[in-house]
Amino acid sequence: MISQAGLRRFTKAQHAHEKWNNLIVDFFARKHDYARAEDVWLEMRAKGYNLSVSSFYSRLKELVEKRTIEKKSNGYNKYLYKVNPL
């Protein structure tokens, strides 16, 4: 039996943050290979997801730091991303 103290409670903002992060990972996973961040963001916008470009890049940076998304250089100041296989 799990004690109440052992359960972690999330705020609505934390749930929303995780929802967006998971959605970004799902969109990159659909690519099956490296993709440009701009292309994924534009695809999300086309599907009706209203996430600002700055929020998208902030979350993408967080996912790269967590090693959920892999970042690869593709020339000067250009990067490609894909889901990091675990």
pLDDT cut 70: percent of the chain above it: 91
Q: How confident is the model over 30-43, as pLDDT tens digits?
A: 998 999 999 999 99
Is residue 1 situated within a structural domain? no
The whole domain housing 66 covers 11-83
Is residue 2 situated within a structural domain? no
Asked if the model's pLDDT at residue 14 lies above 90, the reply is no
The H-assigned helical ranges of 1-86 are: 12-29, 37-46, 53-65
* Total structural domains within the chain: 1
The pTM for the full model equals 0.82
Among 54, 53, 27, smallest CA distance to 40 is for 27
Is residue 57 situated within a structural domain? yes
Is residue 51 situated within a structural domain? yes
CATH code of the domain in which 16 resides: 1.10.10.10
Question: What mean pLDDT comes out for the span 45-71?
Answer: 95
Is residue 5 situated within a structural domain? no
Is residue 31 situated within a structural domain? yes
